[in-house]
């Protein structure tokens, strides 16, 4: 029997949000822009919300581990996000170069490419710009919390948050990092904006906002249709504050997170159904790590995958999920499991 890990703070609404965002990221990276698709149009229209929402959720649910003074808990947290960042690029580096060597082609990646990848999260597996930001900001928050008292550290994090907001609102981020190539711009250049999402998630987690709002969830859901309408019209709203798009983004992301987190699925699903939902949504991190690599591998052997339509996206998503599920169950008693969750 296949075992599945039990996750703390399991919320069915948030799990549905994870799987939706995860699939849309796969669509964005795999689906051809030449192939017409309503799903692709939807994906591109709401593109601003995927990784930023994941970032907020990550820091919301990791609040306890980040704020813990327990070195073992902190160490486990860092291992969970650093090990995939290191090992997946090495695996891809070896796979691509060995494949090219066997087929008498030039080496696809150099050692220099691998070094750049491990420093900033781009060159070999570009999606790890997200992991680079996650590791950097997590480490920064942990150090602040270890050095200062709880009260002083919170004040310090809020002060940096304020400077980050001003930095982005004034457009300094764009002015500085647009001078660099895409590797730097799409990795280091995102630190200041993703720090904002991280701290919002961190402080929402410190208040356990989803837990406290559960008693109001039916009232909150009365406003859900209004929120969905505003969410649909977000590009028109952006025009009202062109310099502060990220501020509106923050409001929408918080609204999206709270709305899904307060959908009363617990009144609809029994324990058995909740178990299967947990099983189906438990590897969104692993899917993000490997989906583009799996797509590239599939293209070598499948004519079907060379036509990158919605069908190809579904195949890549399911294969990524099954691979993560399979290897997690093999390595679940070792630290290698962090490569798949």
Establish if 75 belongs to a structural domain.
Answer: yes
**Distance from C-alpha of 87 to C-alpha of 93, rounded to nearest angstrom:** 10
**Structural domain span for residue 27:** 12-339
**Is 1 a domain residue?**
no
* Residue of 141, 122, 127, 112 lying closest to 185 (CA atoms): 122
129 part of a folded domain: yes
Task: Classify residue 5: in a domain, yes or no.
Answer: no
CB 42 within 8 A of CB 31: no
Residue 242: band (very low, low, confident or very high) from pLDDT cuts 50, 70, 90 = low
108 inside domain: yes
Question: Which pair of tokens denotes residue 19?
Answer: 């799987």
CB contact at 8 A, 105 and 115: no
Q: What's the average model confidence in pLDDT over 31-53?
A: 94
In the numeric block, which tokens belong to residue 240?
């009202």
What's the farthest any 2 CA atoms get from each other in the chain? 64
Backbone angles phi, psi at 60, to 5 degrees: -65, -50
Work out the average pLDDT over 283-292: 96
DSSP 170-193: TTHHHHHHTTS-HHHHTTGGGHHH
- CA–CA gap between residue 317 and residue 12 (Å, rounded): 20
pLDDT at 200 over 90: yes
What average pLDDT does the segment 13-25 reach? 95
Is residue 99 situated within a structural domain?
yes
Higher pLDDT, 280 or 155: 155
- Residues comprising the chain, all counted: 341
How confident is the model over 79-85, as a mean pLDDT?
97
Interior angle at CA 287, CA 324 and CA 118, nearest 5: 100
Residue 194 and residue 132 in contact, taking contact as beta carbons nearer than 8 Å: no
CA angle 88-123-84, nearest 5°?
Answer: 20
Any domain includes 329: yes
- Triad 143, 145, 150: Cα angle to 5°: 165
Give CA–CA dist 128/138, Å, rounded. Answer: 15
Tens digits of per-residue pLDDT, 259-284? 999 988 877 777 777 777 777 788 99
Position 86 in a domain: yes
Give the chain's domain count. 1
Q: Is the pLDDT of residue 9 over 90?
A: no
Secondary-structure percent of the chain, ordered helix, strand, coil, rounded to 5 = 80, 0, 20
The model scores a pTM over 0.75: yes
Mean pLDDT of the 171-186 span: 92
Residue located via tokens 């939706």:
20
């Amino acid at each position: 029997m296949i075992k599945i890990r039990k996750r703390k703070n399991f919320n069915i609404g948030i799990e549905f949000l994870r799987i939706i965002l995860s699939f849309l990221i796969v669509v964005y990276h795999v689906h051809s822009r030449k192939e017409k698709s309503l799903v692709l149009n939807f994906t591109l229209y709401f593109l601003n919300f995927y990784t930023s929402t994941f970032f907020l959720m990550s820091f919301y649910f990791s609040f306890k581990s980040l704020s813990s003074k327990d070195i073992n808990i902190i160490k486990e947290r860092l291992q969970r996000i650093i090990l995939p960042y290191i090992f997946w690029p090495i695996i891809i580096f070896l796979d691509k170069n060995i494949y090219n060597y066997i087929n008498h082609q030039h080496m696809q990646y150099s050692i220099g490419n691998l070094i750049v990848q491990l420093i900033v999260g781009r060159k070999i597996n570009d999606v790890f710009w997200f992991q680079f930001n996650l590791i950097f900001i997590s480490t920064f928050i942990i150090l602040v919390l270890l050095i200062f008292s709880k009260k002083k550290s919170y004040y310090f994090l809020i002060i940096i948050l304020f400077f980050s907001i001003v930095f982005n609102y004034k457009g300094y981020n764009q002015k500085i990092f647009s001078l660099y190539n895409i590797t730097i711009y799409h990795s280091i250049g995102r630190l200041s904006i993703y720090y904002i999402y991280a701290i919002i998630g961190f402080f929402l987690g410190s208040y356990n906002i989803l837990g406290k709002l559960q008693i109001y969830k039916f009232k909150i859901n009365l406003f859900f249709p209004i929120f969905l309408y505003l969410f649909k019209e977000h590009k028109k709203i952006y025009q009202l504050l062109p310099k502060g798009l990220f501020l509106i983004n923050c409001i929408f992301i918080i609204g999206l997170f709270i709305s899904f987190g307060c959908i009363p699925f617990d009144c609809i699903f029994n324990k058995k159904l909740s178990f299967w939902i947990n099983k189906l949504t438990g590897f969104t991190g692993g899917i993000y790590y490997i989906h583009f690599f799996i797509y590239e591998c599939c293209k070598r052997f499948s004519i079907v995958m060379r036509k990158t339509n919605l069908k190809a996206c579904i195949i890549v998503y399911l294969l990524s999920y099954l691979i993560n599920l399979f290897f997690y169950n093999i390595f679940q008693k070792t630290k290698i499991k962090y490569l798949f969750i």
